[in-house]
Chains A and B, each alone.
Chain A
Amino acid sequence: MKFVVNGRQHTSVASPLTTLLHVLREELGLVGAKAGCQHGSCGSCTVLIDGEPRRSCLTVVATLDGAEITTVEALGDPSHLSDVQVAFNEHYAAQCGFCTPGMLLAATALISRKGRPVEREEVVEALGGHYCRCTGYVRILDAVVAASRGERLGTMAPTALEIRGVEP
């Protein structure tokens, strides 16, 4: 089975009914997608398949020939974070961090699909299948709305602390 993962061609040697989650984590070493429930209920294994959020724990590689897969590892790195990553950090939307990769990808897909600032109700609809036990969701909604507006508060940079006179 041949498909593209984060811009790179991959030929999977796994048997056709192996889950994409298993291939990502065990074959490719991309451990951003998490095995939270392994039956499609929690959303922590979410990746983008051809731009759409999908549960990698329920997706078997047999269905992926020619597909383009994006995982959280492709969203940005610490020196070049995406708007959604910045917003999740600035709004404290990631607490234990386990559900965060799936949330980030679902939020990224929503914002890209709408191509405009999104309403809170739209975020609730799009992220409704994602389970978070820590935050109470409010900060996640704040973060996705802010990201869709391209807002960056700049409050998380070490320099911002110096400006505010906070001793590290």
Chain B
Amino acid sequence: MKAVGASLPRYDGVAHVTAASRFVDDFSLPGMLWAKALRSPVASARILRLDTARSATMPGVHAVITHSDVPNNVVGHQEVWGIAPDEPLLAEHEVRYVGQLIAVVAAETEAQALAAVQAIEVEFEERPAFFDMRKAWDSDQPHVTPDGNVYFYYPDQPQRQIRKGDVAAAFAEADVIVEGVYRPGAVEQAPAEPASALSVAEPNGRVTIHSTSQALYYSMDITARHLRMPIGQLKFVGGTVGGGFGGKIDTLTEPVTAVLALKARRPVKWRWTREEEMLCSSTRAAWHVEIADAVTRDGWILGRRTLTLHDAGAYMRTSAYACSKHTFHLAGAYSIPACAFNTFVVMTNHVPTAAMRGFGVTSASFAVETHMTRVAEVLGMDPWELRLKNANRVGDTSPSRVVYGNPSTVTTLLVAAEAAGVKLPPKQRAMTNAMREGALLPAHLVEQQRKPETHLLAWRDGRPALEGGS
């Protein structure tokens, strides 16, 4: 373990400080074309007419693509988890958000490509847009999808609705019910390097794609679905990513440049502008989280009810996954014996939303921790004491009934208090994550307790290993 705590050189440190690291935009190839996109100027509209004939004859233009050029236009980012495909790579009969891709041009220079984009003729019939996720169920609101504004179908993903213990009894027994609403807003990941891709249609039928993806194999899968190609026909080149923070998981630039390169038979590079990165790339979602806690005067949380709305934007992307993760975490790092959590994916005419640092979890943590402080305020109790009292211990169970084998809540709280310069009483400083007993095991927590499970595993080489849940 000599490497732990040692200052090891970054494998790419010297390359970074000599600018020898090659980002996608740093590659150029003979005959390479530049891509520029026609994007929707409106949040919701029917496309009445789309004519690229004039654009295709503009100087320097080698290819113009619309939805009919994409072998499999409608793909879902979560098809591997059984969620139906819903998002066109290039818009077909409608647009659902400002910045949605409609057509893309490949020309010899960026300026020529831009001029050709401006020559595309498109006619919209604007529709009322839907933006406020709190009105998702209102009958007078416009529908974002033909199925409405709330996404219900979750194969194998029941976690976004969690039921544990007797919630009605907990709320009946409570001394106080503390309610709160928390609304973390959308955030653009804003990586320093804008989304870029460079695709080459090889003579042997394969396609080489230089990608800024954070999730190379994931992006390969999405691209292969759009191209209807076996994944082995694609060669993705990646690795040097100029920041992503979740925003470079979504896959748009790779399939678009691949379709252009296959049509033009030339390498095609597409480098988004900062405006495109800020306005049209996915963001962290906005969330609406309502929490009601059933608490006792001495600071025990008997039960929790939640309602979360997640603003998925115009297409699903990875929102269902984010909601599952979010819902897992709605008890925070605390033991709550009775839980009823409901989380819904709401479709709006905002830009589709995606991962950003702690996908789905930061919104839960923000809501839960703010709410814990609110509970302490209502009870007139020290917020550290409230947290330490309810902190997960060995043998406590999570909302989804995972038994904690070695939870770190108590340690984390003690370290946080020290770092914040908070002097806790000696009794609290001596706390550990040991199984509950005595005053820390009130009657309402007895039933949720389980013996931590330990599994005996075998490595492939036959060596045994012990695994404890935590």
Chain A residues within 8 Å of B, Cβ to Cβ: 25-26, 29, 31-32, 34-39, 41-42, 44, 72-73, 75-78, 81, 85-86, 88-90, 92, 94, 96-101, 104, 131-134, 155-158, 161, 164-167
Q: What are 8 A-B residue pairs whose CB atoms fall within 8 Å in the complex?
A: A34-B192, A42-B192, A73-B18, A78-B14, A133-B191, A133-B245, A156-B13, A167-B3
Contact partner of B192 among A73, A75, A133, CB < 8 A? Answer: A133
Query: Within the assembled complex, what's the spacing in Å between the Cα atoms of A32 and B18?
Result: 8
Query: Within the assembled complex, what's the spacing in Å between the Cα atoms of A120 and B101?
Result: 45
| B190 A94 Cβ-Cβ under 8 A | no
| B13 A94 Cβ-Cβ under 8 A | yes
Query: Within the assembled complex, what's the spacing in Å between the Cα atoms of A29 and B19?
Result: 12
Known contacts A104-B17, A134-B243; is-contact A166 B274 (Cβ 8 Å): no
| A34 B274 Cβ-Cβ under 8 A | no
Q: Which residues of B contact A133 (CB under 8 A)?
A: 190-192, 243, 245
Closest to A97 in B: B16
Further contacts, 18 of them, CB under 8 A, given A32-B19, A161-B8:
A29-B28, A34-B25, A36-B274, A41-B274, A81-B17, A92-B13, A94-B10, A94-B13, A94-B16, A97-B242, A134-B243, A156-B14, A157-B9, A158-B9, A161-B9, A164-B6, A166-B2, A167-B3
Q: Which residues of B contact A88 (CB under 8 A)?
A: 16-17
Query: Within the assembled complex, what's the spacing in Å between the Cα atoms of A125 and B135?
Result: 47
Query: Within the assembled complex, what's the spacing in Å between the Cα atoms of A133 and B277?
Result: 14
Query: Within the assembled complex, what's the spacing in Å between the Cα atoms of A106 and B436?
Result: 57
B273 within 8 A of A: yes
Contact partner of B193 among A72, A94, A96, A155, CB < 8 A? Answer: A96
| B242 A98 Cβ-Cβ under 8 A | yes
Query: Within the assembled complex, what's the spacing in Å between the Cα atoms of A90 and B13?
Result: 8
Closest to B12 in A: A97
- The minimal Cβ–Cβ distance linking A108 to chain B, given in whole angstroms, is 11
- The minimal Cβ–Cβ distance linking A80 to chain B, given in whole angstroms, is 10
The interface residues of chain B, by DSSP majority, are classed as loop
Q: Which residues of A contact B245 (CB under 8 A)?
A: 133
B431 within 8 A of A: no
- The minimal Cβ–Cβ distance linking B420 to chain A, given in whole angstroms, is 19
- The minimal Cβ–Cβ distance linking B276 to chain A, given in whole angstroms, is 11
Query: Within the assembled complex, what's the spacing in Å between the Cα atoms of A165 and B4?
Result: 12
Q: Which residues of A contact B17 (CB under 8 A)?
A: 81, 85-86, 88-89, 94, 100, 104
| A85 B18 Cβ-Cβ under 8 A | yes
- The minimal Cβ–Cβ distance linking A5 to chain B, given in whole angstroms, is 14
| A34 B18 Cβ-Cβ under 8 A | no
Q: Which residues of B contact A89 (CB under 8 A)?
A: 9-10, 13-14, 16-17
- The minimal Cβ–Cβ distance linking A39 to chain B, given in whole angstroms, is 7
- The minimal Cβ–Cβ distance linking B26 to chain A, given in whole angstroms, is 4
| A77 B3 Cβ-Cβ under 8 A | no
Closest to B3 in A: A166
- The minimal Cβ–Cβ distance linking B379 to chain A, given in whole angstroms, is 36
Contact partner of B273 among A38, A85, A94, A99, CB < 8 A? Answer: A38
| B192 A36 Cβ-Cβ under 8 A | yes
B373 within 8 A of A: no
- The minimal Cβ–Cβ distance linking A28 to chain B, given in whole angstroms, is 12
- The minimal Cβ–Cβ distance linking A7 to chain B, given in whole angstroms, is 17
B194 within 8 A of A: yes
B21 within 8 A of A: yes
Query: Within the assembled complex, what's the spacing in Å between the Cα atoms of A54 and B67?
Result: 42
Closest to A104 in B: B17
Known contacts A35-B25, A36-B193, A72-B19; is-contact A81 B14 (Cβ 8 Å): yes
Closest to B14 in A: A78
Q: Which residues of A contact B20 (CB under 8 A)?
A: 78
Q: Which residues of B contact A37 (CB under 8 A)?
A: 274
B390 within 8 A of A: no
* Beta-carbon contacts under 8 Å, B171-186 to A: none
| A31 B8 Cβ-Cβ under 8 A | no
| B192 A96 Cβ-Cβ under 8 A | yes
| B271 A96 Cβ-Cβ under 8 A | no
- The minimal Cβ–Cβ distance linking B170 to chain A, given in whole angstroms, is 42
Q: Which residues of B contact A165 (CB under 8 A)?
A: 2
Query: Within the assembled complex, what's the spacing in Å between the Cα atoms of A35 and B192?
Result: 9
Q: Which residues of A contact B416 (CB under 8 A)?
A: none
Known contacts A38-B273, A42-B192, A131-B192; is-contact A100 B19 (Cβ 8 Å): yes
Closest to B189 in A: A133
- The minimal Cβ–Cβ distance linking B421 to chain A, given in whole angstroms, is 20
